[in-house]
Amino acid sequence: MKRLNTEWGELESLVLTDMSDVFISNLTIQRQHFPNDDDQTGAAKALMRLQDTYQLDTNTISTGDLPGSSSAASQQTALTVDDCYDLGKVAYSEADYYHTELWMVQALKQLDQGETSSTVDTVTILDYLSYSVYQQGDLERALEFTKRLLELDATHQRANGNLKYFEYQLAKQKKVEKREEGEAAEGRQRRETRGRPDDYLPERRKYEQLCRGEGIRMTPRRQSRLFCRYYDNSRHPRYVIGPVKQEDEWDSPRIVRYHDIVSDKEMEKIKELAKPRLRRATISNPVTGVLETAHYRISKSAWLGAYEHPVVDEINQRIQDITGLDVTTAEDLQVANYGVGGQYEPHFDFGRKDEPDAFEELGTGNRIATWLLYMSDVQAGGATVFTDVRAAVWPRKGTAVFWYNLYPSGEGDYRTRHAACPVLVGNKWVSNKWIHERGQEFRRRCSLQETD
């Protein structure tokens, strides 16, 4: 992103004086299709998101030595001092001093190891470092970085001012610590455990654990009750001779996976149809009902109607035959692409009681079930996790997972809160079908018990 956004502009300027008008014209035309500053900032944030979710240190990311990547790919994705510095600057602009410190330290480390840079020097990095650690309450390290900066540039005006201020604040802090030993211990603990800023997502830790494959609540005893089977949906004519492969992924709520459910040719056709229409995915604002982009959903999506191609119609019919649910009232097939860092944080597919108008314009009721088809393998990351029950389902090309969002009573099943984990290495393609209540009255009957 950075190379196409920043360095292409430099290349364009370089050739302006020495190339033909045709070449320059082509260069300028292509430029409009390249990333811009927003894309570069988004890529930087994606890297930091991956760093937190998969607990990667800055050196692992900088060397490109990521899980699931080859040694050749690692060399191609290695970050320079300038790249690390730019990542730190993006964090700094967001007042995210935790990540500012991490990436400025990495940039400093690479400079100390002998790497050269034509755009950034040690003094500049130390300036950012001292301020970012100060903002996190670590006065001693802030003072340490400031002193090192002044050894390199004794006339640095801001550093000289900061030196006096940090020394004054540190002396004041030590007086308080001597006076109140209890508070001193608490203060030290607070500095030692400083980390990422407060989060709006209360289940962040649980979500990220599951993305890493940790904290999954499936005991061996429960696992032993999950089975694989050939499934014909009560001897459906299409599947009596050739039943589909069904595997239990989770018991409560029940999540099943269907193997080899679509061919490579069908998946490629779906991607081909969707690619020209892919746009940044949106969410429905729960207050206004307006569709808008959100930082917690990073992907591109497109919608395909059954009338657009026989493959789409065939997949819709297959979903109906296998699930036994009527798809004529379902939403169009949504195709989504998640690049590196692409994610969708924990959410519900169904409309809650505080969102009575969630699907009112469709006139087909709530989303009774979700069908999620994986159209690519993912080298690392990209799991679908259910945070309430601590379940995780990993992408496998050509398979689909299915679950009910509502109980037979029509009440929402809050255990189905789920998320799409960030893609660490690779490219994730999925398509999903949201099936609605209307048309299912005699296909999935209401229970006599509201609690069922």
**pLDDT, tens only, 198-250:** 777 889 999 999 999 999 999 999 999 999 999 999 989 999 999 999 999 99
By the 10 Å C-beta count (0-12 exposed, 13-18 middle, 19+ buried), 267 is classed as buried
Give me the helix-helix angle, 97-112 and 81-93, nearest 10°.
Answer: 160
Q: Where do we find the tokens 């690779």?
A: 426
Q: How many CA atoms lie within 13 A of 335 on its CB side?
A: 22
* pLDDT value for 404: 98
* pLDDT value for 7: 81
Lowest mean pLDDT among 170-179, 302-311, 389-398, 435-444: 170-179
Long-range CB contact pairs, 223-226, < 8 A, 24+: 225/251, 226/250, 226/251
Q: Quote the CA–CA distance of 420 and 342 in Å, as a whole number.
A: 8
Mean pLDDT of the chain: 90
Across the range 82-108, mean pLDDT stands at 96
Q: Quote the CA–CA distance of 150 and 153 in Å, as a whole number.
A: 5
Band (pLDDT 50/70/90 cuts) for residue 186 is low
Q: Give per-residue pLDDT as tens, 29-87.
A: 877 888 889 889 999 999 999 999 999 999 999 998 888 777 666 667 789 999 999 99
Query: How many C-beta atoms lie closer than 10 Å to residue 298's C-beta?
Result: 23
Q: What are phi and psi of 224, to 5 degrees?
A: -65, -15
Residue 450 has pLDDT above 80, yes or no: no
Q: Where do we find the tokens 């830790």?
A: 205
* pLDDT value for 15: 73
Across the range 304-314, mean pLDDT stands at 97
DSSP 8-state class, residue 289: -
Structure tokens at 445: 């009957």
Q: Quote the CA–CA distance of 166 and 172 in Å, as a whole number.
A: 10
Structure tokens at 290: 């307006």
* pLDDT value for 14: 74
Q: Quote the CA–CA distance of 90 and 49 in Å, as a whole number.
A: 13
419 CB-near residues (< 8 Å, 6+ apart): 207, 211, 343, 344, 345, 346, 347, 384, 385, 387
Q: Quote the CA–CA distance of 162 and 73 in Å, as a whole number.
A: 43
Give me the helix-helix angle, 122-135 and 157-179, nearest 10°.
Answer: 30
Across the range 118-128, mean pLDDT stands at 94
**Percent of the chain surpassing pLDDT 70:** 93
Across the range 277-293, mean pLDDT stands at 81
Q: Mind spelling out the 3-state secondary structure of 29-91?
A: HHHCCCCCHHHHHHHHHHHHHHHHHCCCCHHHHHHCCCCCCCHHHHHHCCCCHHHHHHHHHHH
Q: Quote the CA–CA distance of 407 and 403 in Å, as a whole number.
A: 11
**The dihedral sign for the CA sequence 215, 216, 218, 220:** negative
Q: Quote the CA–CA distance of 187 and 140 in Å, as a whole number.
A: 13
By the 10 Å C-beta count (0-12 exposed, 13-18 middle, 19+ buried), 311 is classed as buried
Quote the distance between the C-alpha of residue 181 and its chain's center: 43
Q: Mind spelling out the 3-state secondary structure of 140-179?
A: HHHHHHHHHHHHHCCCCHHHHHHHHHHHHHHHHHHHHHHH
In order, the DSSP letters of 241-262 are SSPEEEEEEETTTTEEEEES-S
| 409 touches 441 (CB < 8 A) | no
Band (pLDDT 50/70/90 cuts) for residue 20 is low
Amino acid at 335: V
What structural domains does the chain harbor?
A: 2-192 (1.25.40.10), 204-436 (2.60.120.620)
